[in-house]
Amino acid sequence: MAIRHQLIRRPPADVWAVLRDADLYCRWVIGTHDSWEQEGSWPEEGASLGFTLKLGPVTYRSRTISRIYRPGERLELESIAGRAGTARIAIEVLPWGGDTLVTVDEHPLRGPTARWHNTALDALIQLRHRGMLSRLAEVVESRAGAPAGEDVSRARS
């Protein structure tokens, strides 16, 4: 499994404000050119967001489905990668003093990538997560002047 963490110098409510905004995924998810809310109310369980990947002249559109949503604590997603299969991406958000510790755990779930899953693939996912979590921190911290997200203590009740 590829597990990585990042300390974000903002409270958890600010991190959740970004995670709840489907339009912002393209700003922090590596390789994503555009993102939008597709079905349901993102990130409620069963809701999906659409995204576009651009690799040179090739454009690929797909979606990510919210499988588990525990406001203020955890978001688990299933990202669809066409013939390659799907991946499970679990995002855990923990208060850390006045900051937030975000942990991402990703592994192939279905399809050929799940069957051929190995440590080399985990190493590539780790590299992707390094950049992705750094970008998430930048997005959250750059919105410091924006109104804070919901009060996570109330979201948990």
Angle at 78 between CA 36 and CA 153, to 5 degrees: 75
d(CA 130, CA 5): 8
Q: Which amino acid is at 144?
A: A
**Amino acid 112: pLDDT:** 82
Higher pLDDT: 75 or 116? It is 75
User: Where do the structural domains in the chain lie, given as residue ranges?
Assistant: 2-144
What are phi and psi for residue 25, nearest 5 degrees?
-55, -35
pLDDT tens for residues 3-44? 889 999 999 999 999 999 999 999 998 888 899 989 999 999
- What CATH code is assigned to 2-144? 3.30.530.20
* CA quadruple 14, 141, 123, 112: dihedral sign: positive
Instruction: Convert the pLDDT of each residue in 108-157 to its tens digit.
Output: 888 887 778 777 777 777 777 788 999 999 999 998 655 444 433 333 33
